Amino acid sequence: MTVERRELSIGGRTIPLEIHRVPRARRIILTSLPTKGVFRLSLPRRISLAKGMEFVSERHDWIADALTRWPTIQPVGHGSRVPFNGEDLLIEWEPKAGRRAVLMGNKLIVGGPEEHVPARVARFLKEAALKDLTERTVALASAHQLKVAAVSIGDPSARWGSCSWQQKIRFSWRLICAPEFVRQYVVAHEVAHLRHMNHSADFWAFNAELYGGPVTPARAWLRAHGSNLYRIGV
Ligand SMILES: [Zn+2]
């Protein structure tokens, strides 16, 4: 699957378009990916790029309509707020503070040049996410004699976590912004996949057992608020 990039100009906005070659696809598919901020065009082998672009331009109105449902990204800078562990942190830029962002109560103190603030906030969130999610995963897996090969974080657009056949578990770093009960649910979900690589009734029973209660409230939280976590502009 190869990826090419183009840009779409819609209502004064420039929107990236990813073009994928999907040899087994039987028709052209255009998808809106709000959390990644791109549209994806999937092309079967025998369809030319020009044909694909024609397909896209014929769908100008559909694209404009889909765009209205994209989340607006909240810029991160001095005085803005980012969710962290279910609460709001106030970003305070202090040019003389150190390179590493420091948490003080409900404030995050960020030093250095102002244009580096978003990157430093991102680094703080990702480091905190990796530490927290790794500790929870290792603790839960070892308490149930399950082997986890690796824990990592990323920024997938459509899932909060994944578990591979190689026992590697990967999470969205954005989970560090969610309340603890939500994070713990996602951890229990992926750890449960170490035993059941499916979503069978047995899997869900084990997920609830690992979580220590019904998983419905955490799942409901993600459905209701999960898209907000993609608005953080870092
Ligand atoms: Zn799952």
Inside any domain, residue 83: no
Inside any domain, residue 100: no
Ligand 1 midpoint to CA 203 (Å): 9
**Helix H or strand E encompassing 90:** strand 87-93
Inside any domain, residue 99: no
Asked which of 48, 67, 86 is the last residue of a domain, the reply is 67
CB 109, CB 224: distance < 8 Å: no
Range of the domain at 43: 3-67
What is the pLDDT at residue 10?
84
Ligand 1 midpoint to CA 10 (Å): 36
Q: Is 81 helix (H, G, I), strand (E, B) or coil?
A: strand
Instruction: Per residue of the chain (234 residues), give pLDDT as tens.
Output: 668 889 898 877 788 899 999 988 899 999 998 877 789 999 998 999 999 999 999 999 999 999 888 877 788 999 999 999 999 999 999 999 988 999 999 999 999 999 999 999 999 999 999 999 999 999 999 999 999 999 999 988 778 999 999 999 999 999 999 999 999 999 999 999 999 999 999 999 999 999 999 999 999 999 888 888 988 888
Among the listed residues 26, 19, 234, the one whose alpha carbon sits nearest the alpha carbon of residue 118: 234
Asked which of 67, 95, 112 is the last residue of a domain, the reply is 67
**What average pLDDT does the chain have?**
93
Nearby residues of 174 by Cβ (< 8 Å), 6 or more positions away: 129, 155, 160, 229, 230, 232
Residues 53, 139: one domain? Answer: no
What does DSSP assign to residue 2?
A: -
- Pairing state of beta strands 74-75 and 87-93? unpaired
Number of domains present in the structure of the chain: 2
Ligand 1 midpoint to CA 166 (Å): 15
Ligand 1 midpoint to CA 32 (Å): 23
Inside any domain, residue 191: yes
DSSP 127-150: HHHHHHHHHHHHHHHHHTT----E
Inside any domain, residue 108: no
